[in-house]
């Protein structure tokens, strides 16, 4: 059936050309000029040849496209399978290494070395757990202090704060980088972004401006942010005159993090001293 469908354009073209030739032969005697007869027949033959060549080329192109699509599907499947196998192999090697550390821990004699090995083993197990398929870490921007549940056991990002503006048009903003998940955030970086028109009084502690980075952004690398924990920071910002509020936020990347879709941010309500700062 598939073969018949493949050749159906050829059959339709052949039938059309045969019908045209039949009409030409039927009216052959109407052509008084022999040169005109030969020209008409030649034109029919040329049309037939060009039609079949075009159909053949089109068929070859479609076949090549199908083969390329199958090849690409195979390559994608192979790549996915290889990635899965590599992850399994990597985690297996990680587990073997952890077991070797455990064996060494039982063989060493000094307490100091045993404690060091215990720390290394804990780090290996934590990293293995973080790299395994499953939940990912997520970081959030929060003003300090964050919000808490009524029982005080759970913290949430605080996304709005009112702060006084100094006579030099500066504000000092205490903020937190929160890991609200159960997963370690490992080997990454956080970019602090301030409002358009704002300026840093100075770089916040551990933050620095990278080459080519906008004036309103500063970068901080980190090795690890524990689950359900936060990193406390403060940033001093010069705000433009006339602004009623400004926005600060963070973006981030890490090996065990979900890629954020949006900037995690908060709004600072500006209170000019002597006017609208709440007493």
Domain definitions of the chain by residue range: 1-133, 139-272
Q: What angle do CA 221, 225, 228 make, to 5 degrees?
A: 150
Paired tokens of 32: 């008084």
Owner of token pair 């048009």: 169
- Which pair of structure tokens corresponds to residue 75? 């390559």
The closest alpha carbon to 252, from 261, 243, 241, belongs to 261
**Selected residue with higher pLDDT from 201 and 42:** 201
180, two tokens: 């609200």
Read off the DSSP letter of residue 279: -
Rounded Cα–Cα distance for residues 32 and 39 (Å): 13
What pLDDT score was predicted for residue 277?
Answer: 45
Domain at 139-272, CATH homologous superfamily: Immunoglobulins (2.60.40.10)
| Highest-scoring range by mean pLDDT, 33-47, 132-146, 208-222 | 208-222
Q: What is the pLDDT of residue 11?
A: 64
Residue 78: pLDDT over 60 = no
Separation of alpha carbons 180 and 170, rounded Å: 30
Average pLDDT, the chain: 77
Is pLDDT of 246 > 90?
A: yes
* pLDDT tens-place string over residues 124-179: 666 666 555 668 899 999 999 999 888 877 889 999 999 999 999 999 999 999 99
User: Residue 164: enclosing H or E segment and its boundaries?
Assistant: strand 160-165
Block residue for tokens 């030739």: 21
Structure tokens at 41: 């027949």
In the three-class reduction of DSSP (H, G, I as helix; E, B as strand; rest coil), residue 136 is classed as coil
- Residue 80 CA: distances (Å) to CA of 41, 96, 134, 135: 59, 24, 17, 19
Between CA 27 and CA 119 the distance in angstroms is 100
pLDDT-derived band at 9 (thresholds 50, 70, 90) equals: low
Q: Please check whether residue 6 is in contact with residue 59, taking contact to mean a CB–CB distance below 8 angstroms.
A: yes
- pLDDT at residue 182 in the model: 92
Residue 52 has pLDDT above 70, yes or no: no
Rounded distance between C-alpha atoms, residue 52 and residue 58, angstroms? 10
């Amino acid at each position: 059936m598939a073969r018949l469908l493949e050749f159906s354009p050829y059959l339709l073209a052949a039938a059309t050309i045969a019908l045209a030739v039949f009409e030409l032969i039927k009216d052959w005697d109407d052509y008084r000029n022999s040169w005109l007869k030969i020209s008409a027949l030649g034109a029919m033959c040329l049309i037939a040849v060009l039609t079949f060549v075009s159909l053949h080329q089109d068929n070859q192109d479609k076949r090549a496209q199908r083969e390329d699509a199958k090849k690409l599907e195979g390559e994608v499947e192979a790549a996915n399978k290889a990635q899965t196998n590599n992850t399994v192999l990597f985690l297996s090697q990680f587990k073997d290494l952890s077991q070797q550390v455990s064996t060494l821990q039982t063989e060493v004699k000094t307490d100091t070395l045993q404690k060091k090995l215990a720390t290394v083993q804990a780090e290996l197990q934590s990293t293995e757990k973080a790299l395994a398929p499953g939940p990912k870490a997520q970081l959030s921007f929060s003003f300090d202090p964050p919000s808490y549940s009524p029982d005080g056991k759970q913290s949430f990002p605080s996304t709005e704060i009112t702060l006084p503006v100094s006579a030099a048009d500066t504000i000092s903003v205490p903020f937190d980088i929160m890991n609200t998940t159960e997963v370690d955030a490992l080997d990454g970086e956080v970019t602090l972004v301030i409002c358009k028109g704002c300026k840093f009084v100075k770089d916040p502690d551990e933050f620095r401006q990278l080459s080519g980075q906008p004036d309103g952004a500063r970068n901080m690398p980190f090795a690890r942010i524990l689950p359900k924990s936060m990193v406390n920071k403060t940033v001093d910002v010069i705000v433009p005159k006339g602004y009623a509020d400004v926005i600060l936020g963070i973006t981030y990347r890490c090996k065990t993090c979900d890629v954020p879709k949006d900037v995690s941010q908060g709004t600072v309500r500006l209170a000019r001293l002597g006017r609208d700062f709440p007493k």
